[in-house]
């Protein structure tokens, strides 16, 4: 049995066992019927020194490139139209880097999220919903709150170029009783939020997450997750992603390990390329806002060329300022080191030292 089938089988079996429990967990009170709108901002900023590779300036001098950057800025408009209908609209402001664009180098708007959600607390189980529009990918919506360091850089699957964090589609989330986990599934365009749909093929995504011992003081932070994305570039040309993950959350440490399996066949006559890789992270949290981060990624983009491997190591220390209401701020100093073995033409080592900043409210 291949990895996607194993992941789905494990998720469905665990989900069936957990669903047999009937007592619902305590949940926040539903929103009032009075419409309300909230506006927030998220900013990622950094100063980065690109130690390797070196570049040449306009006079041909070899220099170490460095830059102050505003990586991403989100304007978040969220709210409720009624007790059961909520929404989110998030435009992203980022630098245009398209070759030949008249706006190359300028900061431009693009839509990142725009969805309407029907909260099903009164009909299924608290925390369940149906959602339509441009919305988070189910894997990203689960994993990024555990990892928390998107402001340092994107997670493994996005950095390797296999998925984007949001897409347009229709989804459904079922929250398992007694906080045993949840199942989220839906149909999406499959191209991601930054590209238009190109044909009739749609992506089916499903994520199942199980919390084996939700009542335990420590082990309630342990969760197992399976994710599968069944898509196609064109008819009879697969584009598939499968993930199996274990994560752990505790006031003193967050950690995660997951494996990624990919299959890409750009056309029905092209060779299918199978990729395999894994990523792990740990964030010790000794207290007083101080956190460490160690993350290691390893990916083989083509199983038929086993010598071709991309490796990345991230190590850093962060300070999270005391939370004031809805305001979250953090600073992080890190080293990001990537190597590319077996590629032709050869790719140089990429090493960066950066000071990152996060502002969110």
Residue 275 has a pLDDT of 97
Q: Please give the span between the terminal C-alpha atoms of the chain, in angstroms, as a whole number.
A: 46
pLDDT digits (tens, 9 = 90+) for 107-116: 888 999 999 9
Measured CA to CA, the distance from residue 229 to residue 46 in angstroms comes to 33
Average pLDDT value for residue range 70-95: 94
Q: Confidence class of residue 1 from pLDDT cuts 50, 70 and 90?
A: very low
pLDDT at 237 over 70: yes
pLDDT at 97 over 90: no
pLDDT digits (tens, 9 = 90+) for 12-55: 333 433 333 333 444 444 455 789 999 999 999 999 999 999 99
Sign of CA dihedral 328, 218, 243, 294: positive
Measured CA to CA, the distance from residue 355 to residue 67 in angstroms comes to 11
Q: What is the pTM of this model?
A: 0.86
Distances (CA, A) of 86 to 37, 61, 117, 179: 10, 55, 5, 22
Name the residue ranges covered by the structural domains of the chain: 3-20+40-98+106-360
Q: Confidence class of residue 99 from pLDDT cuts 50, 70 and 90?
A: low
- Which residue pairs, CB below 8 angstroms and at least 24 apart, start in 283-291? 283/148, 283/149, 283/253, 283/254, 283/255, 284/252, 284/253, 285/251, 285/252, 285/253, 285/254, 286/252, 287/252, 289/319, 289/320, 289/321, 289/322, 290/317, 290/318, 290/319, 291/317, 291/318, 291/319, 291/320
pLDDT digits (tens, 9 = 90+) for 239-262: 999 999 999 999 999 999 999 999
pLDDT digits (tens, 9 = 90+) for 320-357: 999 888 999 999 999 999 999 999 889 999 999 999 99
CATH architecture observed for domain 3-20+40-98+106-360: Beta Barrel (2.40)
pLDDT digits (tens, 9 = 90+) for 147-195: 999 999 999 999 999 999 999 999 999 999 999 999 999 999 999 999 9
């Amino acid at each position: 049995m291949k990895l996607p089938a194993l992941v789905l089988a494990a998720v469905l079996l665990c989900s069936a066992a957990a669903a047999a429990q009937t007592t619902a967990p305590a949940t926040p009170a539903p929103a009032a019927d009075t419409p309300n709108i909230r506006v927030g901002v998220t900013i990622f900023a950094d100063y980065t020194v690109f130690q390797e590779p070196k570049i040449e300036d306009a006079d041909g001098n070899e220099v170490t490139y460095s830059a102050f950057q505003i990586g991403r800025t989100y304007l978040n408009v969220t709210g409720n139209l009624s007790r059961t209908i909520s929404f989110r609209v998030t435009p992203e402001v980022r630098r245009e880097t398209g070759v030949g664009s008249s706006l190359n180098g300028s900061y431009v708007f693009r839509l990142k999220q725009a969805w309407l959600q029907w909260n099903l607390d009164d009909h299924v189980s608290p925390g369940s919903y149906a959602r339509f529009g441009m919305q988070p990918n189910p894997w990203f919506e689960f994993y990024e709150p555990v990892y928390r360091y998107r402001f340092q850089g994107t997670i493994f699957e996005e950095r390797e170029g296999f998925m984007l964090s949001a897409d347009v589609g229709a989804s459904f989330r079922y929250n398992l009783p007694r906080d045993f986990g949840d199942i989220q599934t839906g149909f999406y365009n499959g191209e991601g939020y930054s590209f238009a749909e190109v044909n009739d093929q749609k992506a089916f995504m499903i994520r199942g997450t199980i919390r084996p011992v939700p009542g335990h003081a420590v082990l309630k932070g342990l969760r197992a997750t399976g994710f599968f994305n069944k898509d196609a570039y064109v008819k009879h040309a697969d584009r598939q992603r499968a993930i199996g993950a274990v994560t752990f959350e505790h006031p003193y440490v967050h950690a995660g390990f997951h494996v990624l399996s990919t299959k890409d066949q750009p056309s029905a006559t092209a060779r299918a390329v199978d990729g395999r890789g894994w990523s792990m992270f740990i964030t010790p949290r000794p207290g007083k806002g101080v956190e460490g981060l160690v993350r290691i990624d390893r990916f083989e983009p083509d199983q038929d060329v086993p010598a071709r491997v991309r490796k990345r190591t991230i190590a850093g220390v962060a300070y999270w300022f005391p939370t004031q209401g809805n305001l979250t701020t953090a600073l992080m100093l890190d080293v990001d080191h990537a190597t590319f073995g077996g590629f032709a033409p050869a790719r140089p080592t990429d090493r960066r030292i950066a000071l990152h900043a996060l502002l969110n409210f």
